[in-house]
Structure 1
Amino acid sequence: MLVFKFVSNGTLADHLHGKLKKQGTLLPWHTRLNIAIEAASALAYLHNSGIIHRDVKSSNILLDEGLCVKVADFGLSRMLPLVVSTSKEAATFASHASTAPQGTNGYIDPDYFQFHRVCDKSDTYSFGVVLAEIISPLPAVDYTVNRYDIPLLSHLTMNKIQNEALHELVDPCLGFVAENEIRESINCCGRVGISVLAMS
């Protein structure tokens, strides 16, 4: 038997695109930004421990009663092998592991998908897609259009930012147009998102 703490506020995906959004529960920008920062910190901790999650997505980011992040679902995670040096230096983790691509369409790093080499950049790319979801009202994957031709939010985000049209992508409920401070913060987040997505 596995026992887990009950996470009362569901997943980030529930708030952005699912049942909680439909019920009118909207996350303001500062809350979304805090969620992004906490999720990034959790991934940094994993990567420093030599663990690659391999399925970073908004439905695997759980939110507790205080909307604090719990990264979940380690069923696909992979431990990087240790590389032992011949000198007296401490062992370090390998830069990557070779493995068949695993994860969720729309979030998988294209390099990992093509070359079957998973590394911390694979999770970082997936986190970039989550950043795009946090900014946008769109999900990373839209199965309603065509289940075999899935439009990727990552491509749309890169296109909008490169053409200086981020405002066309931003969720209208965030106050991007009305509030300068929010607009600057979302623009910064968008630039981080595109730099992460372009790493691949």
Structure 2
Amino acid sequence: MMSESTAVDMPESSSVSKGKAPLIAAPMNKKGGYKKGVAIFDFILRLAAIVTALAAAASMGTSDETLPFFTQFFQFQASYDDLPTFQFFVIAMAIVAGYLVLSLPFSIVAIVRPHAAGPRLLLLILDTVALTLNTAAGAAAAAIVYLAHNGNASANWLAICQQFGDFCQKVSGSVVASFITVVILVFLVVLSALALGRH
């Protein structure tokens, strides 16, 4: 009887070790681990993009300088709201930052369910829209910052950065922060595309 029980137990243990279930589960775990790692990296990049987008909007929104020499009738002042391009920049960067904050729950869903294609596809589409808006705002502001630094002799536009140094420094920093956000958004779009391509 003992020999029979051992004979019965032996094939069972060998069949479990030779079964297909562990071989199928191993690649799925590797694939899920890859997707989960991509989703976690996506979440970290979103946090970084929120910081840079808010920094760009805040730096531009607080750029204001008044020259010390002024009279009762004339006062020389430079502010972001003097130029519609800078106003558009502040609004666009605030929208991008707001979108990135709202996208965090979807990024968390992608971490919890790495094989779900729906949240990843939605993030890919909305990230592309945010990238377009961010690039447009950054490029427009960069053109004005260039004119502020160098002027344009043909159009008789004077460079104002020699007088308004602090103002130019803040707006230049905000444009740099916006282009850092552009780079991060490009990485987010590529990550989403790679994650969808593995489905």
| Structure holding more helix per residue | 2
Higher relative contact order (CA 8 A, sep 6+): 2
TM-score range, shorter chain: 0.3 to 0.5
TM-score (norm 1): 0.32
| Structure holding more strand per residue | 1
